[in-house]
Amino acid sequence: MNILKNKTIAIVGGGPGGLTLARLLQLKGAHVNVYERDVNKDVRVQGATLDLHEESGLNALRHAGLMDAFNANFRPGADKMRIVDKHATVLVDEPVNTTELSRPEIDRGPLRKILLESLDPDTVIWNSYLLSLTPVATGWQLQFQNGTTATADIVIAADGANSKVRPFITPLKPFYSGVTMVEGSVYDSATAAPRMHALLDGGKIFAMGDEKTLIVSSKGDGSLVFYTGSKTAESWHRTNGIDFNDRAEVKAWFQQEFPGWNDVWLELFDTCSYPLTLRPQYCMPLDQTWTAQPNLTMLGDAAHVMPPYAGEGVNMAMLDALELSQCLTNDAFADVQTAIAHYEKHMLLRFAEVAQMTLDQTASLHSANGLAGMIEMFTDAERRD
């Protein structure tokens, strides 16, 4: 029994989770469209590099038949990591992982390109920012900001933490983790920020001190991205009074918020593009649950946003896509609602475990013993190896 026979599926959101799901469903013959708010595939600069995990992100790509494309685009050596203190003293210099594809790094842009090129032509409908959903006889009508509409028998939310679809499934909202990040990018870092570029050495930096973090990642296009992390009030991103489009104000903020940090960090703010982006970090309730619906479900951050400090976000989204695709194309399920219920039960159990680990890691990194704790974690890992 094919529960998707003659059904149309709308995936809202064209990030890694949504595109992976579209690919997996198309391999099974499903009729899928992805509705993405970006005007086209090139309009938005993608963020930091992603390390894909064997049991989740890579597992999904393997089932999608995309490992050859991944192997041609991942960045050997980008998994090199340095742990430093606020004085930029290197305390742990983790070498490049030489084991086969352990947790390989890939930039978001190339990953998106791989997934987009794997889909049937015209699968992605660009410039489709969802405004509302309305139930209709055959399922749902989707209304977009550009004035167009579409109908689908099944709608799957892959539209991130501020999902427009999630409220139709559950009223549960995320809670603030206590930490806000400030994100910036430096282009052509070798020329623009040579001291930071040398310290980064083609990999990642985790800098910690005074209950704060500063994470820097290299990218394959020669740029770098950075994220400060500090404990603030939930409303700080709205009420701080700082113009994050003003270089002088931002530098003054950093020097006040990160007192005693080495001048090398100021190179980031001297050479980055403005404005910077403020990102308060949220997490869905770990015990969240809801009754499965017959034609609505969600994956990734829409279902279980969490802080990024454990590196699980994109991996969780891609594993969601794999498990949801397997449920929706499994003849053992009598109908779509039963398949969705099975997927959501296991997804929520998995989220509860990973989110707890992520919250623990977030708290640890921004504690008085954050630096010592991270060094100990890597030392223990080396002993186990």
**pLDDT tens figures, 355-374:** 999 999 999 999 999 899 88
Cα distances (angstroms) measured from residue 46 to each of 11, 15, 222, 272: 20, 10, 13, 16
pLDDT digits (tens, 9 = 90+) for 65-97: 999 999 999 888 777 889 999 999 999 997 655
pTM comes to: 0.93
**Residue 382 scores a pLDDT above 70:** no
Measured CA to CA, the distance from residue 68 to residue 136 in angstroms comes to 42
Closest CA to 83 of 216, 231, 227, 197: 216
Residues 86 and 205 sit within 8 Å (Cβ to Cβ): no
Say whether 62 counts as a known binding-site residue.
Answer: no
The answer to whether 82 and 90 have CB atoms below 8 angstroms apart is yes
pLDDT at 266 over 70: yes
Q: How far is CA 90 from CA 187, 199, 200, 382, in A?
A: 24, 9, 10, 17
- Mean pLDDT for the stretch of residues 244-270: 97
More confident residue, 44 or 273: 273
301 annotated to bind ligand: yes
Distance between CA atoms of 385 and 383, rounded to whole angstroms? 5
pLDDT band at 46 (very low <50, low <70, confident <90, very high): low
Q: Which residue has the tokens 């040579």?
A: 194
Tokens of 291: 């009754």
pLDDT of residue 384: 53
Return the pLDDT at 330: 96
**Spatial CA neighbour of 49 closest among 301, 271, 314, 368:** 314
pLDDT attached to residue 118? 98
**How many Å apart are CA 229 and CA 211, to the nearest integer?**
9
Each residue's pLDDT tens digit, 202-218: 999 999 999 999 999 99
- Reading phi first (left if > 0) and then psi (alpha if -120 to 50, else beta), residue 160 is in left
- CA atoms of 312 and 57, how far apart (whole Å): 9
- Span of 154-163, 203-212, 258-267, 305-314 with lowest mean pLDDT: 305-314
Q: How confident is the model at residue 173 (pLDDT cuts 50, 70, 90)?
A: very high
Q: How confident is the model at residue 98 (pLDDT cuts 50, 70, 90)?
A: very low
**pLDDT at position 180 over 50:** yes
> Alpha-carbon distance 310 to 197, whole Å?
24
Does pLDDT of 243 surpass 80? yes
Look at the chain and count its residues.
Answer: 385
User: How does pLDDT run across 304-313, given as a tens digit for each residue?
Assistant: 999 998 888 8
Tens digits of per-residue pLDDT, 123-142? 999 999 999 999 998 899 99
Integer Cα distance of 374 and 385 in angstroms = 17
> Token pair 């279980």 is at which residue?
304
Q: Is 237 exposed, middle or buried (0-12, 13-18, 19+ CB in 10 A)?
A: middle
**Encoding tokens for residue 4?**
């998707």
- Among 302, 268, 283, which Cα is nearest to 182's? 268
**SS3 (DSSP) at 98:** coil
Query: Quick one: tokens of 113?
Result: 């390109």
Q: What CA dihedral angle connects 323, 35, 225 and 227, to 10 degrees?
A: -70
Give the residue ranges of DSSP H helices in the chain.
16-27, 57-63, 67-71, 108-117, 189-192, 194-200, 236-239, 247-257, 266-271, 301-304, 313-328, 336-365, 370-384
Q: Is 279 annotated as a binding residue?
A: no
pLDDT given for residue 268 in this prediction:
98
Phi-psi region of 227 (alpha: psi -120 to 50; beta: other; left: phi over 0): beta
* Neighbouring C-beta atoms of residue 355, cutoff 10 Å: 22
DSSP-derived pairing of the beta strands 149-152 and 139-144 = antiparallel
Domains of the chain: 8-75+108-173+284-365 (3.50.50.60), 175-283 (3.30.9.30)
Angle between helices 16-27 and 108-117 (to 10 degrees): 20
